[in-house]
C-alpha cells in the first residue's frame, strides 16, 4: 500500500459508447502507440429458471476495490511494455445490453496488448470486491457469480 | 474493544445492514466469526471471505481492529 | 472458395473513433453478448535513420485480400463461439496517430474473445495481401514489413 | 498465350507499372519468373510471392493463365 490515494475507477451507471469513442480519440496524439486492445463487459439478458435478467445492480467495497485496481494497474505496467492503461467499472444499475466494464491498453507493439489485456481482465474478475445483483423482469433478484 | 464491520451483497442481506459496530473481546478472525454466527445463524451457510484493512485474511489472523469486511464472491465485470 | 462475393473490408482513409463508438453502440441490442474485444492498429510515428514516419499509404490486392478476410472470418466462427465479428482495414493515406485496422469480436463469454481476437489479428498480418508504404516527413518512403 | 500480371508495393516500383499483359509460352511459374527477371533484373533481389487465381503458388506450379500477381511481404494493420 502506498500513501497516495488510488484513482477512482468507478462510474455511476452504464459506460456509454460515446465515452469509449472519446477515449480512443484521445490516444491519437500518442504516436508511439501501434496497437490498442479494448475489453468491454456487457450485461447479458440471461434466462434463469424461466426469468430474464433485465439489469445488474453493482455495488463495491469501493476503497478496497480502487486499491486493488491500482495494484493490478501497477503490476501490469511492470509485466508488460504498455504506453497507457485505463480501467472503468460501473456502479449502480446497468441494463441488459449496456456496458459495465471498459479496459483499454495501448502499446507500441501488438503482441504485448493481447497478453496484458487478458491478464488485467482476469485479475479484475478474481481480485476486485465488486458485487453484481442480477435483477429479473419480476423485480426478484439473485447475486451473480463469476465463472 | 468496539470494532466496525462492513457487509456487502448477499451478506448484507443476511445481516440486514451494510455496517455495524460491535463490542468484541476475542483475538482472532475465527473468534469474530463465531460471534457473528451466533448473531446471524444464516451466515454459516454462506460463501464469503473476510478482509481486514482492505486485504483478505484467514480465520487465524489476529484482529487489529482496523476496517473489517465480510465479502461474498466477487462478480465484477 | 465460395461463389458468393466476399464482403468489402476496406475503407478509404483512417478509421474514425466515432465509427468505432457507433459500432459498439449497435451491439447493445444483442443482449446475449457478455464480452467484446476490440483490436485497433494505429500508425506509429517511428523514427528510422533520423527521419520520422508521418503517414502510411496502404494499397492491397483487394479481391484476394477480401477473399482472405472472408476465409479468416469463416474459420474464426468455426473455431470460436462468437456472436459477431467485424473487420475494417484502411486503404490510402493514414496519418501517424490514426487508426488503420479495427477488429471487433463479441461472445457470450469472455474467455473466448481473447483467443479469437488474437487469432484473427495474427491471421490478418500473415495472410492478407495489404502493403504499407511508410512516408517520411521529407516525402521519401520505405515499404513496411510486419514483425 | 497472353497473360496478365499484377504488381504491388515495392514490386510495382521495380516494374514501374501495376499491371501488364505479356505474350508468354512457358508452362510453369518458374518459367514466367525467368522471363520477368530478364525484363526486370532488379526483381531478382526482391522478396516476393506469386499468386495465381488469388492463391499463393510455388515456382513449380503450372500456369493456368488466370489472374497472376507478384506480392511483396504483407504489411497490413
Q: Under 8 Å CB-to-CB from C125, ≥6 apart: which residues?
A: C146, D74, D76, D77
- The pLDDT-based confidence of C135 (bands split at 50, 70, 90) is very high
Bridging pattern class, strands C51-60 and C47-48: antiparallel
Q: Under 8 Å CB-to-CB from B55, ≥6 apart: which residues?
A: none
pLDDT at C1 over 80: no
Q: What is the pLDDT of residues A43-68, one digit of tens each?
A: 999 999 999 999 999 999 999 999 99
Strand partners, A42: A99
pLDDT of A40: 98
Question: Domain B2-71: which CATH class?
Answer: alpha beta
pLDDT of B77: 87
Backbone angles phi, psi at D33, to 5 degrees: -60, -40
Look up the pTM and report it. Answer: 0.95
Instruction: Calculate the average pLDDT of chain B.
Output: 95
Strand partners, D4: D21
pLDDT at A2 over 60: no
Contact flag B9-A121 (C-beta cutoff 8 Å): no
Contact flag A44-C32 (C-beta cutoff 8 Å): yes
Identity of the residue in A36, A40, A98 whose CB atom sits nearest the CB atom of C42: A36
Buried b (16+ CB within 10 A) or exposed e, C12-28: eebbbbeebbebbeebb
Instruction: Calculate the average pLDDT of chain A.
Output: 95
pLDDT at C39 over 70: yes
Identity of the residue in B6, B54, B72 whose CB atom sits nearest the CB atom of A131: B72
By C-alpha distance, the chain D residue nearest C92 is D76
Q: What is the pLDDT of residues C6-16, one digit of tens each?
A: 889 999 999 99
C-alpha cell belonging to residue A61: 467495497
Q: Report, as an integer, the average pLDDT of D11-24.
A: 95
Identity of the residue in A21, A41, A114 whose CB atom sits nearest the CB atom of C17: A21
d(CA A133, CA B10): 9
Helix (H, G, I), strand (E, B) or coil at C18: helix
Instruction: Calculate the average pLDDT of chain C.
Output: 95
Percent residues over pLDDT 90 in chain A: 93
pLDDT at C3 over 60: no
| Residue C16 DSSP code | P
Is chain D adjacent to chain B, meaning 3+ CB pairs within 8 angstroms? Answer: no
Percent residues over pLDDT 70 in chain C: 97
Nearest-Cα distance to chain C for D28, in Å, is 21
Report the candidate in A61, A62, A81, A75 with the shortest Cα–Cα distance to residue A6: A62
- Interface confidence: ipTM more than 0.90: yes
Query: Chains meeting B at 3+ CB pairs closer than 8 A?
Result: A
d(CA A102, CA A86): 8
- The pLDDT-based confidence of D29 (bands split at 50, 70, 90) is very high
Percent residues over pLDDT 90 in chain C: 93
pLDDT of C147: 67
Buried b (16+ CB within 10 A) or exposed e, C117-136: bbbbbebbbebbbbbbbbbb
A132 close contact with C: CB closer than 8 A: no
pLDDT of A3: 56
Contact flag C42-A27 (C-beta cutoff 8 Å): yes
Query: Chains meeting C at 3+ CB pairs closer than 8 A?
Result: A, D
Q: Which domains does chain C have, with CATH numbers?
A: 10-143 (3.90.1170.40)
pLDDT of A1: 45
Q: What is the pLDDT of residues B15-47, one digit of tens each?
A: 999 999 999 889 999 999 999 999 999 999 999
pLDDT of B34: 96
Counts for chain D of helices (H) and strands (E), in that order = 2, 5
Q: Report, as an integer, the average pLDDT of D58-68.
A: 91
Q: Report, as an integer, the average pLDDT of C132-136.
A: 97
Q: Under 8 Å CB-to-CB from B57, ≥6 apart: which residues?
A: B29, B50, B51
pLDDT of D15: 97
The answer to whether A73 and A85 have CB atoms below 8 angstroms apart is yes
- The pLDDT-based confidence of A146 (bands split at 50, 70, 90) is confident
Is chain A adjacent to chain B, meaning 3+ CB pairs within 8 angstroms? Answer: yes
Amino acid at each position: 500500500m502506498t500513501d497516495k490515494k488510488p484513482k477512482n475507477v468507478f462510474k455511476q451507471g452504464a459506460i456509454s459508447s460515446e465515452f469509449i469513442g472519446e477515449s480512443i480519440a484521445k490516444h491519437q496524439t500518442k504516436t508511439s502507440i501501434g496497437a490498442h486492445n479494448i475489453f468491454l463487459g456487457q450485461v447479458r439478458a440471461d434466462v434463469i429458471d424461466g426469468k430474464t435478467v433485465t439489469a445488474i445492480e453493482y455495488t463495491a467495497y469501493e476503497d478496497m476495490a480502487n486499491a486493488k485496481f491500482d495494484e493490478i494497474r501497477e503490476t501490469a505496467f511492470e509485466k508488460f511494455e504498455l504506453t497507457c492503461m485505463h480501467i472503468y467499472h460501473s456502479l449502480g444499475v446497468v441494463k441488459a445490453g449496456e456496458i459495465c466494464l471498459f479496459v483499454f491498453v495501448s502499446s507500441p507493439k501488438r503482441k504485448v496488448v493481447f497478453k496484458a489485456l487478458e491478464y488485467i481482465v482476469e485479475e479484475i474478475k478474481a481480485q476486485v470486491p465488486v458485487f453484481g445483483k442480477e435483477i429479473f423482469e419480476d423485480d426478484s433478484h439473485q447475486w451473480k457469480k463469476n465463472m | 474493544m468496539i470494532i466496525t464491520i462492513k457487509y456487502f451483497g448477499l451478506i448484507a442481506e443476511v445481516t440486514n445492514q451494510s455496517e455495524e459496530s460491535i463490542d468484541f473481546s476475542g483475538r482472532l478472525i475465527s473468534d469474530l466469526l463465531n460471534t457473528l454466527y451466533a448473531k446471524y445463524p444464516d451466515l454459516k451457510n454462506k460463501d464469503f471471505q473476510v478482509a481486514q484493512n482492505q486485504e483478505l485474511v484467514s480465520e487465524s489472523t489476529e484482529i487489529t481492529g482496523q476496517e473489517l469486511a465480510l465479502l461474498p464472491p466477487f462478480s465484477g465485470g
